[in-house]
């Protein structure tokens, strides 16, 4: 081969690599997560609201899903008919351990959710079924559900919901090996009712003669059939089916073992695809072909949990994922062009206790999924995502758009004068079902930020980002409905979540300050007594003064129990900080925590106002 030919090939390869690099998403920031902390020491995106949708309970099934099933995972989200639709799959105890079913919850506002209803019920595998090259024969075996696509809004306005019946012969078998039963579909009507279940695609061992639901083509509803036909003509939508489909299914354009596909469209019409492990590629023809085999997006850190990407309402782009080899924290990156992502911000840095053990249950907020293009745009313009906690509880998060990570100027909020719908715009909240954070009424009937907690395993948390300051004055009025149980911890932190000082209202009727390993008494408090608290902070001197109802407390001056370069976050939390699990916690957990059905008396706290003034 001549030198010119070799040089020409080299130039082509270099140009090809440059084009590929240009079209490949990448993380260009310098921030990395520290998984020794559940929050990764990441700065929060301001105003994120994490809301628990469904709290699993074996002992109080009527207050959870109606079944007492404790493996709940892989939630997916759509917005249609001015309503959020969220479906998730469930098993009694653990992953891949039948029976399985898929449930649906709905909400008008993303905060108040309906009770789960079954949309795809348990399905019996035919006795005598055998998988090729796998030992064992099905005998009284039920299918498990394992789908990567939940919804499709058709151009005729029909909302379809879909699920997949896979077969796991035992707890270690893979239901997504191409040897399952098939994919089912039904319609969700505007009045909330559901259409009949049909199969839309069979795996190779099944057909309309040996299954329990009819093929969609047999439906007398022509518009339903039309919606299904339209879905089957969309390569990008069908790419989500890859894992469950036959390994040679002609409807799937990219048939290799790439998992949990989602995508978004760039300004030039090209489409970015994302898979687990932050794999990515680009298509210019709607998913019929891909420019290169999916490759790991340079700079992104992501293991085998899902990564989500989408265009946001301000014309930018966001990816949401676990930026570690663990399934915590849950974080977000922003891009101006859909290719270069420049920051890493916290969405949720809490890990609730895993109350129930089970097969393949992983710790952390994980398997995040947003609203796919075409499946609706929430009226508030926020970025909404859903995820599971520990493969046990189902959550959503609302991220304000545009995404910001800091605030400026002094803060002065009086909740009695603020509209309830917008009062918490700049507050980050973590709100479990039984440890809620929301605007509510004080005993006197005024508006206030209310934290309630009757959950012995979790807590309510409200956090306010303030301007980064070496010296600041923080003031607020607070009261407790009780003084003989519960706790409200109030911490001042830096941008990374490092804590420098804490005061707390405890169950012994005392307001205290943490001083290293011990606490000192500040004052007593009575039920429903309004305390006006002022903290005068100085990071340069590592000290602060506490005033209660205008009076200095216990010598007034208290040292930070840990040094901070500046203060940037104020946290109100109805429980102790959590440090478990750690990076050394065993991956598999088969043991339930003690007293998982226990409730506590509800402790209630009212925050009337909040003020932060930068002194320097």
Q: Could you report the per-residue pLDDT of 403-412, keeping only the tens digit for each? A: 999 999 999 9
| Residues in the chain, overall count | 616
- DSSP 3-state assignment of 226? helix
Under a CB-based contact definition with an 8 Å cutoff, are residues 273 and 282 in contact?
Answer: yes
Higher-scoring residue by pLDDT: 5, 479: 479
Return the pLDDT at 437: 98
Q: Give residue-wise pLDDT tens across range 323-354.
A: 999 999 999 999 999 999 999 999 999 999 99
Q: Is the pLDDT at 562 greater than 60, yes or no?
A: yes
| Long-range residue pairs from 438-441, CB within 8 A, at least 24 positions apart, any chain | 438/111, 439/415, 440/606
Question: What DSSP designation does 125 have?
Answer: P
Nearest to 51 by CA among 338, 365, 478, 341: 365
pLDDT of amino acid 557: 86
Residue/partner pairs of 445-448 with CB below 8 Å, 24 or more apart: 446/415, 446/416, 446/608, 447/415, 447/416, 447/417, 447/418, 447/420, 447/423, 448/415, 448/416, 448/606, 448/607, 448/608
Q: What is the pLDDT of residues 360-399, one digit of tens each?
A: 999 999 999 999 999 999 999 999 999 999 999 999 999 9
> What structural domains does the chain harbor?
27-399 (2.120.10), 411-614 (2.60.120.200)
Distance CA 527, CA 77 (A): 42
The answer on pLDDT for 461 being more than 90 is: yes
% of the chain residues with pLDDT over 90:
94
14 confidence band (pLDDT: 50, 70, 90): very low
The stretch 532-544 carries a mean pLDDT of: 97
Q: At 212, list the tokens.
A: 């329990």
Encode burial over 438-474: b for 16+ CB neighbours within 10 A, e otherwise.
bbbebeeeebbbbbbbbbbbbbbbbbbbbbbbbbbbb
Chain segment 167-182, per-residue pLDDT in tens: 999 999 999 999 999 9
Angstrom distance (rounded) from CA 400 to CA 557:
38
> What's the whole-number mean pLDDT along residues 44-59?
98
Structure confidence by residue, pLDDT tens digits, 75-113 = 999 999 999 999 999 999 999 999 999 999 999 999 999
pLDDT reading at 459 higher than 90:
yes
Identify the CA nearest to 469 among candidates 407, 560, 557.
Answer: 407
pLDDT of residue 4: 45
Query: Does residue 475 have a pLDDT over 70?
Result: yes
pLDDT of the residue at 565: 97
230: enclosing H helix or E strand? helix 222-232
Would you state the structure tokens that stand for residue 243, as one six-digit string? 């894992």
| Res. 317 pLDDT band, cuts 50 70 90 | very high
pLDDT of residue 554: 74
The chain-wide mean pLDDT, for the chain, equals: 95
Give how far Cα 215 sits from Cα of 185, 228, 380, Å. Answer: 10, 11, 38
Confidence of residue 133 (pLDDT cuts 50, 70, 90): confident
How far is the CA of 265 from the CAs of 125, 212, 216, 381, in angstroms?
39, 38, 30, 18
Q: Does the pLDDT of residue 3 top 90, yes or no?
A: no
Give the C-alpha separation, 508 to 313, whole Å: 48
The pLDDT-based confidence of 20 (bands split at 50, 70, 90) is low
pLDDT (0 to 100) of residue 21: 59
Residue pLDDT, tens place only, 574-590: 999 999 999 999 999 99
Q: How confident is the model at residue 11 (pLDDT cuts 50, 70, 90)?
A: very low
Beta-bridged to residue 513, according to DSSP, are 503, 520
pLDDT of 7:
44
């Amino acid at each position: 081969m001549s030198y010119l030919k070799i040089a020409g090939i080299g130039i082509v390869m270099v140009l090809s690599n440059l084009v590929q690099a240009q079209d490949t998403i990448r993380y260009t920031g310098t921030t990395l997560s520290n998984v020794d902390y559940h929050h990764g020491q990441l700065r929060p995106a301001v105003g994120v609201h994490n809301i628990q949708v469904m709290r699993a309970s074996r002992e109080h099934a009527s207050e959870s899903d109606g079944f007492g099933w404790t493996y709940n995972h892989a939630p997916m989200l759509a917005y249609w008919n001015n309503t959020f639709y969220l479906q998730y799959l469930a098993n009694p105890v653990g992953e891949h351990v039948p029976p399985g079913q898929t449930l649906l919850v709905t909400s008008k506002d993303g905060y108040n959710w309906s009770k789960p209803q079954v949309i795809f019920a348990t399905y019996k595998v035919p006795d005598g079924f055998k998988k090729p090259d796998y030992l064992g024969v099905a005998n009284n075996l039920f299918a498990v559900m394992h789908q990567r696509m939940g919804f499709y809004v058709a151009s005729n306005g029909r909302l379809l919901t879909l699920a997949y019946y896979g077969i796991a012969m035992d707890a270690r078998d893979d239901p997504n090996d191409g040897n399952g039963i098939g994919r089912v579909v039904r319609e969700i009507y505007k009045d909330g009712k559901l259409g009949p279940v049909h199969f839309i695609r069979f795996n190779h061992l099944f057909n309309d003669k040996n299954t329990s639901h009819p093929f969609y083509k047999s439906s007398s509803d022509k518009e339903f059939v039309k919606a299904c036909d339209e879905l089957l003509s969309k390569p990008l939508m069908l790419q989500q089916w890859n894992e469950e489909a036959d390994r040679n299914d002609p409807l799937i354009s990219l048939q290799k073992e790439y998992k949990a596909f989602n995508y978004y469209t760039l300004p030039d019409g090209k489409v970015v695809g994302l898979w687990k492990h932050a794999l990515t590629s680009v298509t210019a023809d709607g998913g019929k072909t891909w420019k290169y085999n999916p490759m790991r997006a340079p700079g992104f850190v992501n293991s085998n949990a899902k990564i989500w990407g989408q265009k946001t309402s301000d014309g930018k782009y966001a990816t949401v994922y676990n930026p570690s080899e663990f399934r915590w924290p849950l974080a977000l990156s922003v891009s101006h062009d859909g290719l270069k992502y420049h920051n890493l911000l916290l969405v949720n840095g809490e890990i609730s206790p895993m109350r129930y053990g089970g097969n393949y249950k992983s710790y952390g907020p994980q398997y995040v999924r947003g609203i796919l293009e075409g499946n609706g745009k929430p009226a508030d313009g926020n970025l909404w995502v859903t995820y599971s906690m520990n493969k046990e509880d189902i959550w959503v998060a609302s991220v304000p758009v545009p995404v910001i990570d800091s605030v400026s100027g002094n803060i002065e909020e009086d909740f009695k004068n603020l509209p309830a719908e917008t009062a918490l715009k700049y507050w980050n909240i973590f709100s479990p079902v039984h440890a809620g954070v929301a605007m509510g009424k004080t005993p006197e009937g005024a508006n206030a930020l209310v934290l309630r907690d009757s959950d012995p395993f979790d807590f309510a948390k409200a956090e306010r980002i303030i301007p980064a300051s070496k010296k600041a004055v923080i003031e607020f009025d607070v009261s407790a409905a009780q003084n003989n149980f519960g706790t409200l911890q109030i911490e001042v932190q830096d941008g990374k979540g490092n804590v420098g000082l804490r005061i707390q209202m405890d169950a012994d009727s005392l307001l205290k300050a943490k001083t290293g390993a011990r606490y000192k008494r500040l004052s007593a408090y009575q039920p429903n007594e309004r305390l006006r608290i002022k903290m005068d902070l100085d990071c340069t001197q590592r000290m602060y003064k506490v005033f209660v109802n205008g009076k200095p407390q216990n010598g007034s001056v208290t040292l930070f129990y840990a040094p901070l370069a500046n203060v940037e976050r104020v946290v109100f939390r109805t429980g102790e900080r959590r440090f478990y699990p750690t990076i050394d916690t065993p991956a598999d957990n088969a043991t339930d925590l003690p007293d998982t059905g226990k409730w506590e008396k509800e402790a209630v706290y009212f925050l009337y106002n909040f003020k932060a003034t930068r002194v320097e």
